[in-house]
A and B are shown apart, each in its own frame.
Chain A
Amino acid sequence: MIGDGAALTFLAMALPFVAALLAPLLVRRLGANAAWILALVPAFAFAHFAGFLPEIAAGEVVTGGYAWVPSLNLSFSWFLDGLSLTFALLITGIGTLIVLYSGGYMKGHAQQGRFFSFILMFMGSMLGVVVSDSFLMLFVFWELTSITSFLLIGFDHSREASRRAALQALVVTGGGGLLLLAGLIFIWNMTGLTQLSLLVHSGDLLRESPFYMAALLLVLGGAFTKSAQFPFHFWLPNAMEAPTPVSAYLHSATMVKAGVYLLMRLNPVMGDTPAWEILLPFFGGITLLVGAVLAIRQSDLKLMLAYTTVASLGLLVMLTGFGSPYAIEAAVLYLVAHSLFKGALFMVAGIIDHEAGTRDVTKLGGLRSAMPITFVAALFAAISMAGLPPFFGFLAKEEIYAALAGPDPRSVVFTVVAIVGNALMFVIAFAVALKPFLGARVETPKNAHEGPVLLWLGPLVLSLLGLAAALFSAVAHAYVTSPMASAVAGEAATVTISLVPHIGLPLALSVLTVVLGILVFLGLDRARAAVTRLIDALGPGPDRGFDHFIAGLVRLSWRVTKVIQNGRLEVYVTVTFLLLAFVLLVPPVLNGELPDMPAWPSDVRFHELAFFVIAVVGLIAVLAARDRLTAIVSLGIQGFAVAVIFLLFGAPDLSFTQFMVETLSVVILALVMTRLRLSPSDHRTFGEFLLDAAIAIAGGLGFALLLLKSTQAPFSTTLTDFFNAYSKVIAHGANVVNVIIVDFRGTDTLGEISVVMITGLAILALIRIRVVSVAAAQTPVARLEGRNAEKELRK
């Protein structure tokens, strides 16, 4: 598949990012109508990926890519099988509708261009997650979805709640991404594979590894945070701070399903173990119950949907880990059905909010005549969500009960969990779709009427798709669900369920669910009050815990910083030199590798001795100096004497540099010293003086021993010979030192001069900061602000 097909796939993956760059310009030109043009990008990708359907349905897989860093065995490669193709189609298909919807929803918003930009970037990242073949790409795109969702959730960045929700989502999902990275590295080490397409055929390699458990826990850490599993579910409802198109896209079919995708992808190689079949259903089941119960409590349309999303994700994880082929098929069916109806319902909630001015279900009613199209879309989506025929959600629910129901205790427990969860979701579905539309017309903040085509097109198409997929279930199964179920199960699977009546246990359980749902629906207000009392009795949840965690982290880092970076120069210098002396002295003593005391050279000439004496005199002058300036200049004496000694022993370049460095360091040190406004004389007590002297002597001794030892080691002339032989021949330079610096090891030098440059900038910045803070301290307002800032830091 290398060739034009590969180029088109690459284009489909790259275009969302290109479109993200162009979006602001287009919006400036065309306003909200830019949506029609921008929607072409995901539509093209959808059409391109749809072209693979026959091939994938025939049981083939499509791989392709480009070498990226061949020497590191890195490639930009993709892998399409039933699982990734279904996800890719959902992402691009729903993405097309979302772009159009955003055009209507954000119409006239000053930052609409930026919004399009973010959502297209997210789309590209999400597409990357599901089609990536190499682990590294998977991880990079995975974190990109976290970062772009941070931008989207915090889109309304002037409100504190948005900023908090965005940061929370980033910390939870981004942190989970790091766990995933560790997990992927584990898998790579265990199998030696870095590509998903090879990994899924690795058989029992992972399951039999002694590190299976560690890898599993790390991967689950990534998947559970992304897919909002209990106890990490709290970020998802908070993310409802985002504009509704974001919720409709990220929190129905894409972002939150990434974790489910990962679990499904790894099911063939990590599933079918006791750990897998305990952890996944356990956490999934709890999440299902928690999400469904919390949803009942809400009266905000978006929050009701958000909590049912949590519940649905729990259901998906539970099914993925349940461990029977039917459960996999049920998970696949439910995933597709959920993407369609949840996307539609979120968009409906957005339309109601947009047109009526509120999305509080207790303040809405009688909108059906004002918004007939929206009502139809909402009703169809809700029927699918409730699991009633003739919609796709019904097929999914039947398959769920068929998969779970059984005589053993485990099956009974999870069947009960599923019935309760489904019944509560049934309630929410109709609470969202019926309450705002039926009954007497309630006065709303805005005079509600039907929105423009850009708004209602998306939900209508999605809800009708839910109907079509059920009516033509044979087609849907052949092209979408069967290939996907085969990919998840790791063996050929055929989904057959259809709308044709089939009397049996699943149908009976469905009827039970519906009856239960209707009962709760009729007493919804009482149920809401009861759940609210229950939650209040339980006390603060993990959302509060997150705040405490972040506050604790800030306090901890503040304390650590106070200890390590206390701002006292003496402490820094003392610690640095103590460590230096330790490193230089302790290993040679412990290993018995102290140098032999060298004999005094017999042929010392008079002038050599003279400069040696001058250096020693310089040192004595430093010690005897009364004030700091004299001491610095005296240190220069010693430095110059050493430079002359270098010159005498045949190192002119070194000597030259030493001269200049010595001169400049005396000048700069003198400037710094006068700057610091230190007292001219030494105020140390005798004890401190002795301690500092001991550290100085230890450091000096350490270096002396190191130098002695290195001169006593046998001298290898390999490098000297090489440079002497080739300096002139290859590099056309006679000065070997300079040729090494600028040619043989030029890249090192480039790094070094960059360091010099950065150091210069850093010193300039430090000097400037002092100037500013001195200026700030002179005005009373600034002083107050400064004190407040300090208090903030202490908090």
Chain B
Amino acid sequence: MNTLIFRTVAPFLTALMLLFSIFVLLRGHNEPGGGFIGGLIAASAFAIYGIAFGVQAVRRALWFHPMSIAGAGLLLATLSGLLSAIFGLPFMTGLWVYPEFFGVEVPLATVMSFDVGVYLVVVGAITSIALALEERESD
């Protein structure tokens, strides 16, 4: 897969797919999309980058171990669920705030941070599996 065309296109493709994955993640509440699909798209993006430039490049680019990313996601999702307990509400009750940024009202919710957690778990777990498998190919 080491063709010049692929190696030239791969970074742009990866960047675009990552951007798209975040877009899909955030629009998920009202349009088709969500953390699970977004996570799968991001994982594919890293897979493409890995096929083009090798596993080490992906690991350098990711900075964190993919499993740590997954762990952080699980933590975020759990904390999002637990936050409601502070207000005496049942576990996983969605909490909403509507701050204004530059005159635009942005609804934020624990539901969203939960979905971000799902996204991170899926990206982390699948990327770490894929990278581990690719890595062994090279030894």
Contacts and interface: CB of A to CB of B under 8 A. Distances in A.
Interface stretch (A175-183, A538-546, A668-676): A668-676
Given A664-B44, A760-B67, A671 B137 contact: yes
Contact of A652 (B32, B94, B96, B118): B32
Contacts of B115: 738, 742
A735 B30 contact: yes
A761 B111 CA distance: 26
Contacts of A664: 40, 43-44, 47, 126, 130
B32 A732 contact: no
A743 interface: yes
Which residue, of A672, A746, A764, A771, has the highest number of chain B Cβ atoms within 10 A? A746
B125 interface: yes
A754 interface: yes
Contact of B77 (A657, A738, A739, A753): A753
A775 to B, nearest CB: 11
B40 A660 contact: yes
A675 B74 CA distance: 29
A749 B122 CA distance: 12
A785 interface: no
Nearest to B92: A746
A492 B50 CA distance: 82
Given A674-B137, A753-B77, A764 B31 contact: no
A757 B40 contact: no
A747 B133 contact: no
Given A657-B36, A671-B130, A757-B71, A747 B92 contact: yes
Given A656-B37, A746-B92, A760-B124, A735 B71 contact: no
Interface string B25-65: 00011111111110011011001000000000000000000
Interface in A718-771: 731-735, 737-739, 741-743, 746-747, 749-750, 753-754, 756-757, 759-761, 763-764, 767, 770-771
Nearest to A758: B125
Given A664-B40, A731-B94, A753-B121, A671 B29 contact: no
Given A660-B44, A732-B109, A760-B126, A742 B132 contact: no
Nearest to A748: B92
A178 to B, nearest CB: 32
B136 A675 contact: yes
A214 interface: no
Interface residues of A, number: 41
Contacts of A733: 29-30, 111
A667 interface: yes
Contacts of B129: 668, 760, 763-764
Nearest to B120: A753
Contacts of A693: none
Contacts of B128: 760, 764
A767 B133 contact: yes
B33 A761 contact: no
Contacts of B24: 656
Contacts of A738: 28-29, 33-34, 115
A324 interface: no
B47 A667 contact: yes
Contacts of A661: 40
Contacts of A652: 32
A77 interface: no
Contacts of B126: 664, 668, 756, 760
Contacts of B29: 732-735, 738-739, 742
Given A753-B74, A760-B124, A764-B67, A732 B132 contact: no
A737 B70 CA distance: 23
B32 A675 contact: no
A735 B125 contact: no
A660 B81 contact: no
A507 B28 CA distance: 90
A653 interface: yes
Given A743-B94, A747-B81, A760-B129, A660 B30 contact: no
B91 A747 contact: yes
Contacts of A667: 44, 47, 130
A754 B120 CA distance: 12
A749 B111 CA distance: 12
A735 B133 contact: no
B109 A756 contact: no
Interface of B: 24, 28-37, 40-41, 43-44, 47, 67, 70-71, 73-74, 77-78, 81, 91-92, 94, 96, 107, 109, 111, 114-115, 117-118, 121-122, 124-126, 128-130, 132-134, 136-137
Closest 8 CB pairs of A and B: A760-B125, A660-B40, A652-B32, A671-B133, A734-B30, A733-B29, A753-B121, A738-B34
11 contacts: A652-B32, A657-B36, A660-B37, A660-B43, A664-B43, A732-B109, A737-B34, A741-B35, A743-B111, A754-B74, A756-B121
Given A663-B44, A753-B77, 20 more contacts: A653-B33, A664-B126, A668-B129, A668-B133, A731-B111, A741-B36, A742-B35, A743-B111, A746-B92, A746-B111, A749-B77, A749-B114, A753-B122, A756-B121, A756-B122, A757-B73, A760-B124, A761-B67, A764-B128, A767-B136
Interface of A: 652-653, 656-657, 660-661, 663-664, 667-668, 671-672, 674-675, 731-735, 737-739, 741-743, 746-747, 749-750, 753-754, 756-757, 759-761, 763-764, 767, 770-771
